[in-house]
Structure 1
Amino acid sequence: MEEFKYEELVEATESFSSSRLIGRGSHGCVYKGVLRDERVIAVKTLSLALQALHDNSKLYNETRILSSLAEPDNSSPPPPSDHVIKLLGTSQDPSQDRLLVLEFMPNGSLHDLLHPPTNDAPPPTWSARLRIALQVARALQSLHARKPFIVHRDIKSANILFDSDWNAKLADFGLAIMDGDDRLDSPAGTIGYLDPNYTCPSKLSRKNDVFSFGVVLLEIMSGRKAMDVTKQTASTVDWAISLLEGQRVMDICDPRISLPSVVPFRHMVHIAGRCVAADEGSRPSVSEIVVEMERVVHLRVRVPAWLSPWRSLVSLKRWRKHARRCNTSTLAKQGAEGGEIQGDMISGKV
């Protein structure tokens, strides 16, 4: 990993000019930079609030997690990590605050792609959505299959970025936790994606990420935001549950696109349904998800026991009851007020 001089990052970003700002979140800001050797990079700095506190914890954690992904682990064979953003190096400013240098992702985020600010941009095609969903699942698989495994804790469309070839990559590891970490953080994530079962540190598991992935998958299939207060039913999960209970699976489909076949769509929705099951034990592992998605993508659709529509419907009904109970908790009250719970976002278009 390269150690960059602070002065060269200042030059590369034109003194961190607002014209180079490509992403902003509660923990950091991301700038486009061009080095003297013409490499295009992304530079992540602390947010203004954390700069005032000199709180480098999230960026140090992101450095630790991303550095570990570049090293071999004890898994056999090593899981691929082609769909995880790459850390190129680090630096420090004069105040000793950390900066991260990441690979530049020129095509924005999945959130941008699905929810453009204007209606001029064409929506992603069905085949593109299948490809993106599978790539995100593979990214998550690479985290969960490692020894020790990694829980991302903030899987959402804004943290899925696209490279120059429109390959999806998972970003923002400031909240990630590695199995065996001594620190016991309070639950963290983004409202709308956050697993309602994750109410205290002891509830942390890989299945929390599986739930969040299920929400992203519903977002990809429907074109709806995970949480949209302008809708009668703000939560996409609640909205999808109602349609599944009424056996109206196809009404979940994004009306902006046409499908070559309804069968793959139905199977993808039922995968999402299993991911957001109230009972964590009923949720599939990411490895199972990848296998089933590959069958869908390659049109070799076979329904395993864990993916049956009937079981999905029962689990979703249980999830609705569970979510209603969770709405009375302190965590849910925080979400209603603020959206993000310790979450961050590295996204945006140049």
Structure 2
Amino acid sequence: MGACWSNGIKAVTPSYTGFNSKTVSRDGNDMCSSSGKFSSASMPVTPRSEDEILQASNLKNFGFSELKMATRNFRPDSVLGEGGFGSVFKGWIDEHSLSATKPGTGLVIAVKRLNQEGLQGHREWLAEINYLGQLHHPNLVKLIGYCVEDEQRLLVYEFMPKGSMENHLFRRGSHFQPLSWSVRMKVALGAAKGLAFLHNAESQVIYRDFKTSNILLDSNYNAKLSDFGLARDGPAGDKSHVSTRVLGTYGYAAPEYLATGHLTAKSDVYSFGVVLLELLSGHRCIDKNRPSGQHNLVDWAKPYLNSKRRIYHVLDNRLQGQYSLDRAQKMATLALQCLAVEPKNRPNMNDVVAALEGLQETPRSKHKEQHGNVHNHSNGVPRSSRSTVEVASKLGMYPRPSASLAYA
């Protein structure tokens, strides 16, 4: 397949925006990046005209001078983060006219600027415009406009104050407090709704790079998917899959996609399962700093997740006292289904959304858990009123008996 793999998986996600990009070599061929991206050989990236941009009535074509003014001439103290694409800057525009305003007034925006000396390309910039210019949903980040002027390529997004889920889940420090159980469930549901929308669109879209760094959070921790540079149209007509070069991020990509290059919506479902495991455990999907045998989260966690006696080996110890065993087992069951080796055994995203809606905390459920079956480590045996298989059956997603559940 010719895929290349990075030796260490390190986040290059900006601290506040979550935008991330793969790298492209100077002759246009895809390469690995420090964030664990990978691909096979690709076509050269060459600048093209604005004619390639699909007609999108709600996108503004900004002038470069406008964005210079909005970002205070791209001053270093306006930088929100760095990625393979280039730098992301904080800026301000008028909410109605979308013209540049004084810093601190009007609508806050995030401006992603292609680094002309860098390794990223025009192709992902164009894909981002053509997908986000046509698709609108509460769980997709809003693209406000773009700039194509001479060699300049920029994208203008709504500003997401809480940054990426990756930062809150994995980074340590006073700025990034651990996400609570209820917030993790809320984020999982929002991200699932975003994927379900893409898969159910009139012309299906396969996201292809679902991961924590591409899930951005607004001030109320509402999740929105960002970075559509690797997105692809789903199979058309009677085709079962899209054949494509392998692109994505190491640790999140589905095994059948890695092996064959056959891309389907179920490839995204597998990636979603990986993210659910990250939410449950608080660990990155690939982390070579962990003990031997635990570098790959999926391989290490699977044997624990279908056992009520062993699930605590995986659960994030920062969440103690915040969840019931019943809810944790439901999440584990859902993650295992999404991670099924056979794509046909994975649920679709509509089913995932339905399952996660049942896991959201309500005042009634919170009261019940505080006075009932909140997790307990006494005698080393957790309490539970229902088995994992019974939970799955109650969701209406998975049939009895347990032999039909693909946990391999």
Report the TM-score, using the length of structure 2 for normalisation: 0.68
CA distance in 1, matches of 2:400, 2:311: 13
Residue in 2 that maps onto 1:74: none
Match of 2:406 among 303, 315, 320: 315
Residue in 2 that maps onto 1:242: 303
Going from structure 1 to structure 2, the CA distance change for 1:202 and 1:158 (only over 3 Å counts) comes to closer
Going from structure 1 to structure 2, the CA distance change for 1:199 and 1:82 (only over 3 Å counts) comes to same
How many Å apart are 1:306 and its aligned residue?
2.1
Match of 1:219 among 278, 301, 310: 278
Going from structure 1 to structure 2, the CA distance change for 1:121 and 1:309 (only over 3 Å counts) comes to farther
Residue in 1 that maps onto 2:132: 66
Secondary structure in 1 aligned to 2:144?
strand
How many Å apart are 1:32 and its aligned residue?
1.1
Match of 1:86 among 121, 142, 166: 142
CA distance in 2, matches of 1:275, 1:118: 32
Residue in 2 that maps onto 1:45: 113
Match of 1:195 among 243, 248, 254: 254
Matches within 5 A, 1:90-129: 90-95=146-151, 97-118=152-173, 121-129=176-184
CA distance in 2, matches of 1:184, 1:23: 34
Structure whose residues are more often helix by fraction:
1
- Mapped contact 1:271–1:307 kept (Cα < 8 A): no
How many Å apart are 1:200 and its aligned residue?
6.3
CA distance in 2, matches of 1:164, 1:99: 24
Unaligned runs of 5+ in 2: 1-58, 94-99, 237-241, 366-390
Match of 1:57 among 117, 123, 126: 123
How many Å apart are 1:185 and its aligned residue?
3.9
How many Å apart are 1:199 and its aligned residue?
2.8
Q: What do residues 191-218 of structure 1 show as CA deviations (whole Å, max 9, x unaligned)?
A: 1111121036751000111011111111
CA distance in 2, matches of 1:28, 1:311: 49
How many Å apart are 1:25 and its aligned residue?
2.4
Say which structure, 1 or 2, has more relative contact order (CA 8 Å, 6+ apart): 1
CA distance in 2, matches of 1:307, 1:230: 39
The one-letter code of the counterpart of 1:168 is A
- Mapped contact 1:141–1:287 kept (Cα < 8 A): yes
Match of 1:256 among 313, 318, 326: 318
Secondary structure in 2 aligned to 1:316?
coil
How many Å apart are 1:120 and its aligned residue?
7.2
Residue in 1 that maps onto 2:396: 304
Residue in 1 that maps onto 2:33: none
Going from structure 1 to structure 2, the CA distance change for 1:184 and 1:56 (only over 3 Å counts) comes to farther
CA distance in 2, matches of 1:231, 1:309: 36
Percentage of matched positions with identical amino acids: 34
Secondary structure in 2 aligned to 1:192?
coil
Residue in 2 that maps onto 1:24: 82
Residue 60 of structure 2 is aligned to residue 2 of structure 1: yes
How many Å apart are 1:98 and its aligned residue?
2.1
How many Å apart are 1:50 and its aligned residue?
4.7
Unaligned runs of 5+ in 1: 71-80, 318-350
Residue 341 of structure 2 is aligned to residue 281 of structure 1: no
How many Å apart are 1:184 and its aligned residue?
5.8
Match of 1:155 among 210, 213, 224: 210
Q: What do residues 35-58 of structure 1 show as CA deviations (whole Å, max 9, x unaligned)?
A: 33422111112244557x8x3111
Going from structure 1 to structure 2, the CA distance change for 1:315 and 1:4 (only over 3 Å counts) comes to same
Going from structure 1 to structure 2, the CA distance change for 1:9 and 1:169 (only over 3 Å counts) comes to same
Q: What do residues 48-69 of structure 1 show as CA deviations (whole Å, max 9, x unaligned)?
A: 4557x8x311100110011120
- Mapped contact 1:193–1:215 kept (Cα < 8 A): yes
Match of 2:196 among 141, 147, 152: 141
- Mapped contact 1:140–1:286 kept (Cα < 8 A): yes
The one-letter code of the counterpart of 1:251 is H
- Mapped contact 2:269–2:348 kept (Cα < 8 A): yes
Residue in 2 that maps onto 1:340: none
Report the TM-score, using the length of structure 1 for normalisation: 0.79
Going from structure 1 to structure 2, the CA distance change for 1:308 and 1:153 (only over 3 Å counts) comes to farther
Going from structure 1 to structure 2, the CA distance change for 1:308 and 1:87 (only over 3 Å counts) comes to farther
Going from structure 1 to structure 2, the CA distance change for 1:305 and 1:180 (only over 3 Å counts) comes to closer
